[in-house]
Every structure is written in structure tokens, then in C-alpha cells.
Amino acid sequence: EAGVAQSPRYKIIEKRQSVAFWCNPISGHATLYWYQQILGQGPKLLIQFQNNGVVDDSQLPKDRFSAERLKGVDSTLKIQPAKLEDSAVYLCASSFRGHSNYGYTFGSGTRLTVV
């Protein structure tokens, strides 16, 4: 089966600019997650979707970050305006259910550099 697709792979922007990341999960996976991974740290959950509804966005900095999954398939994560500390890899993951015995399947991520 095809994996989790993410784009772009890399993005360099100046602070205060906006950026958007795209994720297409594995077909049939109802649950989609966005994680932020700062260099040298473990992935940090930003938001979880179940189909097109938000399950948990308690760690999403809502003053600048937003995410949507309008049709319950693809998802976009946006940052506006970006700060230097947003430099990280943004990982999208999906699972068949909330916590599958087969774990999460991660995409290759988008590496964001804010200068």
C-alpha cells in the first residue's frame, strides 16, 4: 500500500511569512496526526483528526498554527506568521483507528527552516 505522502519535503521562509504543509494519509486511515519534531527531540503532537473532526488540538499554538481536514482525507497545516522557533520537521502520521496495534505510519516529513 502507498505510504503517507507529505509535501513539500523542504521549505525555507523568512520569519513573519506564512507556510502551508500538505498530507495525504494511507487510504482508509480515519485518524490523522500532525507532529512537530525539533532537532534532537521526540515528535510532539500538535493535532489529531478523526475523519474530518478535530479530536485534540490542545498543543497546537492556535495564535499562529491552523490545520484542517475538510473531506476527511487530505490535511493541511498552516503557520502564519512563522517564528524562528518554528524551525522543525513537521510529520504527518495516520492510523486505521485511534491507536492501532500496528502503530502510526509516518510520512517523510517537511523540514521547515525559518530564517
Partner 1 sequence: GQQVMQIPQYQHVQEGEDFTTYCNSSTTLSNIQWYKQRPGGHPVFLIQLVKSGEVKKQKRLTFQFGEAKKNSSLHITATQTTDVGTYFCAELNTGNQFYFGTGTSLTVIP
The answer to whether 13 contacts partner 1 (rule: CB under 8 A) is: no
Q: Helical H runs in the chain?
A: none
7 scored as a contact of partner 1 (CB under 8 A) = no
Question: Cα(9)–Cα(22) distance, rounded to whole angstroms?
Answer: 10
CA distance 92 to 72: 14
* Per-residue contact string for residues 80-99; x = within reach of partner 1 by CB under 8 A: -----------x------xx
Q: Hey, which residues between 43 and 72 contact partner 1 (CB under 8 A)?
A: 43-45, 48, 55-56, 59
Grid coordinates of 112: 521547515
Least separation in angstroms between CB 10 and partner 1: 12
- Answer for which of 1, 27, 28, 42 binds partner 1 (CB under 8 A) is 42
Cα 87 to Cα 38: distance, rounded to the nearest angstrom: 7
CA distance 74 to 71: 7
| Residue count, binding to partner 1 (CB under 8 A) | 23
Binding site for partner 1 (CB under 8 A): 33, 35, 41-45, 48, 55-56, 59, 91, 98-99, 101-109
